[in-house]
Structure 1
Amino acid sequence: MTGQFSDQDDFVSNGFRPFVGVLKEMQGCSTLLLKKSDVWDKMVTPNSTLHSLLIHNASRTSDEVRRLKSAIAVLTKEPFWDSDCKQDVDTTYLLDGADVCGSSPAEACERDKVVVSFVSSTASVDPLNIIRNGINVPLLNLTCSGKLTEHLWANEHISFESYLKVQFSGGKLDFSRVEQKMNFSVIQSTEQSLFIDTFRKFEELTWEQIHADQGLDYKEYRGTIGRDYRAIKTYKFRASQKFRCHGYRENDSFIVIGFETDHKLSDRG
């Protein structure tokens, strides 16, 4: 935050909403956001700090800002990185030629090389390149949701189950009610990419397109998955010629019951 937002509404619309999306994703991935302890004093608009904006009388009348105050409260609490600073006083950290020693980007160079940024600033680019003692250190810059989960998955820091639950949260696919007997463990590591590609396709299509897509072959399952689903109309769709995903429709979401990798269920319906 460098005073880049013209007013409170600009901050809420263009800064707060993407930032909260990143926070929710971090929580879903069980990752911590380290902050500098002076965050309240950072300039949001040319004339207002984060603290003054949130305590201003006009802010108290806004439902969205009240939600902001709750969501952003995590910024005012531990962990603060400056209580255990990893930067070396003899090391130089440059951003676009300017010395940023003592800043969060400089600290990220000495930690996991990931930062979270509010958009519409000189630090909104990804990657954010810091020159550390003459050597470029590219930082993954989280300015919107989705990047962190992909990064953790690509670097094998989260499980297949966690990846699906976080990356597809809030979309057409709901992985929160998968049955134990058909759970994520039945999918081998070599098969995971097939399922992920299919799930991405499923999310991008409309329901009308899903019903018409010959590759997905979305249709009612005529067999019985279990006693809990006898009164529920269940469906299945293809992840490949052999693999299937089973579940049921609930409003605009497809509740995933489980996965089929041996075609035994499909042979019965």
Structure 2
Amino acid sequence: MDGIIINELSLSGQFHDSQDFWKNGMPPFYKALQDARSFGVGYLFKQGSFYGAQATPDKTLHDLLTAPEARIIDEAKRYKSTLARAICNPFWDDAPQQDLNAHYLADEADVSGSSVAEATARAVCLLSFIRSLYGKHPVVVTKDGVAIPVGNIWKEQQLYAILFERGELPLEKYITTRFSGGKLDFSLIDDTHGFSLIDNENQNEFIDSFRKFE
């Protein structure tokens, strides 16, 4: 995966106030972003006007970064640098790859010219905020009548499954990353009795069995 595009359409003023955004909106965004960095996803693209996205009924992202309460709220102090970097370069609209003459629809809404449309033209995944219409994977975008599924994450651990679906993450890496840290311990698995015994036909059943331990 070449990069991730932040989905500005996933912000529509859905967070009640600054406290709600910093306390509830930023943690899942941050954790999903950390997953991307841990797998070496190089670029975090966004629209050039992303800083002006409406996060609360009366504040944009830029407003939240510069508001006095950003120096007081604990979560704001923790995630402020992450958000500040997220609104900076690189901007995909400096060199857009989407077809500017095409019409892009998502859930019957025109998303032409947006990050959602841009994601259909690149080998990337969308990164959305919670509490939006984009709390789903994939996001199905219709370009001039042709449906195109676009990967989308909005909380931690979702990227692993998308990379696995795309064939960019081996089964062993997916399992040990996705399900480690809980009740399962993979440290004693060897090549003789390990993941090499799993074939394509039964790997989904194998993965489902691990979900029972979550």
TM tier relative to shorter chain: 0.7 to 0.9
**How far apart, in 2, do the equivalents of 1:33 and 1:186 lie?**
39
Higher relative contact order (CA 8 A, sep 6+): 2
1:98 to 78, 97, 109: 109
Deviating above 4 A after TM superposition, structure 1's stretches of 4 or more consecutive aligned residues are 172-175, 182-186, 192-201
The percentage of counterpart residues that share the same residue type is 37
Residue 170 of structure 2 is aligned to residue 159 of structure 1: yes
> Which deviates more from structure 2 when the two are superposed, residues 129-138 or residues 188-197?
188-197
Residue 80 of structure 2 is aligned to residue 69 of structure 1: yes
**How far apart, in 2, do the equivalents of 1:127 and 1:196 lie?**
19
- Shift of residue 99 of structure 1? 2.3
- Shift of residue 161 of structure 1? 5.3
In the alignment, what sits opposite 1:8?
Answer: 18
In the alignment, what sits opposite 2:6?
Answer: none
On the 8 A contact 1:28/1:166 being kept in 2, the answer is: no
- The one-letter amino acid paired with 1:191 is I
On the 8 A contact 1:54/1:60 being kept in 2, the answer is: no
On the 8 A contact 1:130/1:138 being kept in 2, the answer is: yes
- Shift of residue 174 of structure 1? 6.8
Change (3 A) 1:168 1:41: same
SS of aligned partner of 1:44 = strand
Segments of structure 2 that go 5 or more residues without pairing to the other structure are: 1-10
- The alignment's C-alpha RMSD in Å is 2.9
On the 8 A contact 1:160/1:184 being kept in 2, the answer is: no
Residue 123 of structure 2 is aligned to residue 116 of structure 1: no
**How far apart, in 2, do the equivalents of 1:38 and 1:91 lie?**
21
* 1:238-249 equivalence runs, <5 A: none
SS of aligned partner of 1:114 = strand
- The one-letter amino acid paired with 2:48 is S
**How far apart, in 2, do the equivalents of 1:42 and 1:100 lie?**
15
Segments of structure 1 that go 5 or more residues without pairing to the other structure are: 205-269
- Shift of residue 186 of structure 1? 7.9
In the alignment, what sits opposite 1:30?
Answer: 40
In the alignment, what sits opposite 1:259?
Answer: none
- Shift of residue 160 of structure 1? 4.5
Task: Provide TM-score, normalisation by structure 2.
Answer: 0.77
**How far apart, in 2, do the equivalents of 1:151 and 1:167 lie?**
12
1:191 to 190, 198, 202: 198
SS of aligned partner of 2:160 = helix
Task: Provide TM-score, normalisation by structure 1.
Answer: 0.63
In the alignment, what sits opposite 1:248?
Answer: none
SS of aligned partner of 1:130 = strand
Change (3 A) 1:72 1:39: same
Larger radius of gyration: 1
Number of residue pairs matched?
199
- The one-letter amino acid paired with 2:29 is F
